[in-house]
Chains A and B, each alone.
Chain A
Amino acid sequence: MTAVVTRARVARRRVVMPGARRGAAVHAGVGALLVVWILAPLLPSALWSVAHTWQAPAVLPGSYSGAAFTVLLQPGTLGAALTSLLLGGCVALVATPLGLLGALAARALPGRRGRAVDLILLAPLAIPPFALVMGVNITLLRLHVPAFAGVALILVVTALPYTSFMFRSALTAYEGRFDDVARTLGAAPPQVLRYVRSPLLAAATTRAFFLAFLVGWGDYITTLLAGGGRLSTLPTLLGAAASSPGSEQLTAVLSLGVIVPPLVVLAALALPTVTGPLSRGVRP
């Protein structure tokens, strides 16, 4: 009897409505198209990075070689990668808490004053980086600000709209009365911050940190102009390679060197949400 009931349940579970099946197929198709659309621009770089010879009008390289990848292990490239890493990290470390503070201020201030803070936080998006940097580099030189610090300072301004926007969205969904509940349950303000607010804003913090890191990691114009050529990062190496004729393979390898690490980090951050429940944060 139990076996019959179990079989019936299994059979019932397998019955899928035709409409639902069609919907799932459409979703899968659209998803695949999106993946292709995002990855397609990487294909030429991927091919060039292993192309020993590739002459027009051939669709694919004539011969293949991975020799160009050795450039990634050269001291100059590793040094540039480390500088990019430090730049991205510094920008993220400063812009993330500033973004949170800005978003908190924008939320706390009523009406026009709150919107004014929003406007200030988002203003750097409206200014082309080239225009932002011109003039600032001279000022930084006059003030004897070290190149790294000067570039990081400007990139923090560039990253601030992204971090503050991330926190603004998260705070819109954040229920302020969680703090009240925690306080009445005996949590002192530092405990509220650690056990309630931080875990609930953890996802937004991670996203904001990642976006700010990308601003520092991938920047070219600010590093070049404000750094006055004294800072060697992966994007500046890439720029130099791209401007030299006949260095397509080197350029492609350096491109992948800039692109792939953030993608790996992104995948590492996204995988837990795809494969399982979100991080539980700090458990009291």
Chain B
Amino acid sequence: MSSGLELRAVSRSFGSTEVLHDVSLTVPPSRCVALLGASGSGKSSLLRIVAGLDMPSGGQILADGDDLAAVPVEERGMALVFQRALLFPHLNVVDNVAFAARMAGRRRSVARQQAMEFLDLVQLADYARRPVSTLSGGQEQRVALARALARQPRILLLDEPFASLDVQLRQDMYALIDHIRAQLAPTVVVVTHDRQEASILADSIAVLDAGRILQHGTVHQVHYEPATQQVNHLLGGLNAVPGVVRDGRHHSVLGTIAVQGQAEDGPAVLTVRQEALRLVPTGEPGGPTIKGSVAGLTSLGARTLVRVLVGADDQADPPRSATLTVDAPGRPQLLPGQVIEVGLQDPGAWAVPQR
């Protein structure tokens, strides 16, 4: 049922505006890849091109090695779920789900019988005969998923499908996607601007910015081993300290910190995730720490972001200070200006070339 998908140097221009530049991406069969990017990054355009709803200006889309250029949308064997469920309002729930089978020429009774299996999968079998106008937002999206799955697509495309749902419903939908992947093992490409959603749903994340894929890697890689400062920023990394790499060590106002072995010598930015830092009680024995003063606190509810100023707070050029942000559990009892120590979990430091 599932197929591998390959994008080779796909580009798309609208007039003189190029929205996709040489995008290459490989999605193995039964894997889930998230296209993560901000609004206008080109991720939805890319998905429409994969689905066949738009044509690329250049490059190739291949499914199981076959070029899809001449294959019309309805013969690509893909299904697309949009942010809005877009259920056909003139059909009831089961007939929406049976739509693909009917288009394939199956008898209504057979199509409905098959549709019931997919409604059962999304736990909405009891709603089969209802008009779609009576469904809630979450139910609509479940039906949209069932309708797409009933197509038995070799590649399932999800275009921000849960963006309009509230947090609780979104969690339910994530669990549902997990369940569907375990049951049917479809190849999935999901477009999202939510890095948490991408991390939960996908096996790997392709970070898209201004029509280019900046990095494609595992969830851990894009978070802890970003290819560029921009990836670090898009993945929510709050720490970027300029300095220089020499012999696998980054030198900056923070001191000398070991980074990845393959880091090239030269000007580089130290990226260390706020989650990889911890506040160390004064005098606690252990590894090396960085001493600084509390510059500010931001509550995240169950966690707190602590901004720590390291170095001299003056207007010198180059700056002789840097601010580190630490994601700390609970609500640490700290006062602005209080001197504290920050420890680095190993391995946590990663240097990216400075642009």
Chain A residues close to B by CB (< 8 Å) = 175, 177-178, 180-188, 191, 195-196, 199-200, 202, 277, 280-281, 283-284
Contact B86 A181 (CB under 8 A): yes
Q: Chain A's nearest CB lies how many Å from the CB of B35?
A: 17
Q: Nearest Cβ distance between residue B1 and chain A, in whole angstroms? A: 15
Known: A181-B80, A277-B131. 20 other contacts (CB 8 A): A177-B82, A178-B86, A180-B73, A180-B80, A181-B86, A184-B52, A184-B53, A184-B78, A185-B100, A186-B103, A188-B72, A188-B74, A195-B99, A200-B89, A280-B90, A280-B91, A281-B90, A284-B95, A284-B98, A284-B102
Are B91 and A186 touching (Cβ within 8 A)?
A: no
A277 to B89, CA, bound (A): 12
Would A185 and B90 be within 8 Å (CB), given that A177-B82, A180-B53 are in contact? no
The answer to whether A183 and B74 touch (CB under 8 A), given A281-B90, A283-B91, is yes
- Asked if B240 lies at the interface with its beta carbon under 8 angstroms from chain A, I say no
In the bound complex, do residue B74 and residue A186 qualify as a contact, i.e. CB atoms below 8 Å apart? Answer: yes
Q: Is B43 part of the binding interface, using a Cβ–Cβ cutoff of 8 Å?
A: no
Are A195 and B103 in contact, CB atoms less than 8 angstroms apart? Answer: yes
B147 at the interface (CB under 8 A from A): yes
Assess the A186–B151 pair: CB atoms within 8 A: yes
CB distance from B295 to the nearest CB of A (A): 47
How distant is A101 from chain B, measured CB to nearest CB, in Å? 22
Residues of A close to B36: CB separation below 8 A: none
**Smallest CB-CB separation from B79: which chain A residue?**
A184
Residues of A within 8 A of B108 (CB): 283
Question: Is A178 a contact partner of B88 (Cβ separation < 8 A)?
Answer: yes
Contact A185–B82 (Cβ < 8 Å):
no
Q: In the assembled complex, which residues on chain A have CB atoms less than 8 Å from the CB atom of B76?
A: 184
A-facing residues in B67-116 (Cβ within 8 Å): 72-76, 78-80, 82, 84, 86, 88-91, 95, 98-100, 102-104, 108
Closest to B73 in A: A183
Whether A187 contacts B86 in the complex (CB less than 8 A), given A180-B53, A182-B99, comes out as no
Contact across chains for B103 and A187 when beta carbons are under 8 A apart:
yes
Q: List, sorted by A's number, 29 A–B pairs whose CB atoms are closer than 8 Å.
A: A175-B84, A177-B86, A181-B80, A181-B82, A182-B99, A183-B52, A183-B53, A183-B74, A184-B52, A184-B78, A184-B79, A185-B74, A185-B79, A185-B99, A185-B100, A185-B103, A185-B148, A185-B151, A186-B74, A186-B75, A186-B151, A187-B103, A188-B74, A188-B103, A191-B103, A199-B90, A284-B98, A284-B99, A284-B103
Chain A residues near B79: list those with CB within 8 A: 184-185
Q: Which B residues have a C-beta under 8 Å from some C-beta of A?
A: 51-53, 72-76, 78-80, 82, 84, 86, 88-91, 95, 98-100, 102-104, 108, 131, 147-148, 151, 157
Chain A residues with CB under 8 Å of B52's CB are 183-184
Cα(A187)–Cα(B105), bound, Å: 10
Which of B86, B90, B100 makes the CB contact (< 8 A) with A186? B100
Cα(A284)–Cα(B150), bound, Å: 15
Chain A residues whose C-beta falls within 8 Å of the C-beta of B75 in the assembled complex:
186
Instruction: Give, as a whole number of angstroms, the nearest-CB distance from B84 to chain A.
Output: 8
A184–B86 touching, CB < 8 Å = no
Query: Which of the residues B74, B89, B90, B131 comes within 8 Å of A184, measured between beta carbons?
Result: B74
CA distance A284 to B88 in the complex (A): 11
A195 vs B79: C-alpha distance when bound (angstroms):
18
3 A-B pairs closest in CB distance = A284-B102, A183-B73, A185-B100
A277 proximity list for chain B (CB < 8 A): 131
A181 to B95, CA, bound (A): 14
With A177-B82, A181-B86, A280-B90 as known contacts, state yes or no: A186 contacts B53, CB within 8 Å. Answer: no
User: Given contacts A184-B53, A186-B74, A186-B103, are A200 and B90 in contact (CB under 8 A)?
Assistant: yes
Q: Which residues of B are found within 8 Å of A180, using beta-carbon distances?
A: 51, 53, 73, 80, 82
Contacts of A184 in B (CB 8 A): 51-53, 73-74, 76, 78-80, 148, 151, 157
Name which residue of chain A comes closest to B82, CB basis.
Answer: A177
Q: Closest residue of chain B to A180, judged by CB?
A: B53
Interface-central residue, A177, A185, A196, by most chain B CB under 10 Å: A185
A123 CA / B62 CA spacing, docked (Å)? 50
Nearest-Cβ distance from residue B239 to partner chain A, whole angstroms: 41
A175 to B, closest residue via Cβ: B86
Residues of chain A with a CB closer than 8 A to B84's CB: 175, 177
Q: A177-B82, A196-B88, A283-B91 are in contact. Are A185 and B147 (CB under 8 A)?
A: yes
- Shortest CB-to-CB span from A276 to chain B, Å, is 12
Residues of B within 8 Å of A191, CB to CB, are 103
Among B86, B90, B100, B147, chain A packs the most CB atoms within 10 A around the CB of B90
Residue of B nearest to A186 (CB): B103
With the chains together, A195 CA to B108 CA distance in Å? Answer: 14
A50 to chain B, nearest CB (A): 45
Measured CA separation A283–B78 after assembly (Å): 23
- The smallest beta-carbon distance between B50 and chain A, in angstroms, is 10
Please, how many angstroms separate the alpha-carbon atoms of A200 and B132 in the complex? 14
Closest to B152 in A: A186
A188 to B73, CA, bound (A): 8
Q: Which residues of the other chain, A, contact B82 by a CB distance below 8 angstroms?
A: 177, 180-181
Give the chain A neighbours of B98 by CB distance below 8 A.
284
Q: Complex formed: what's the CA distance from A239 to B233 in Å?
A: 79
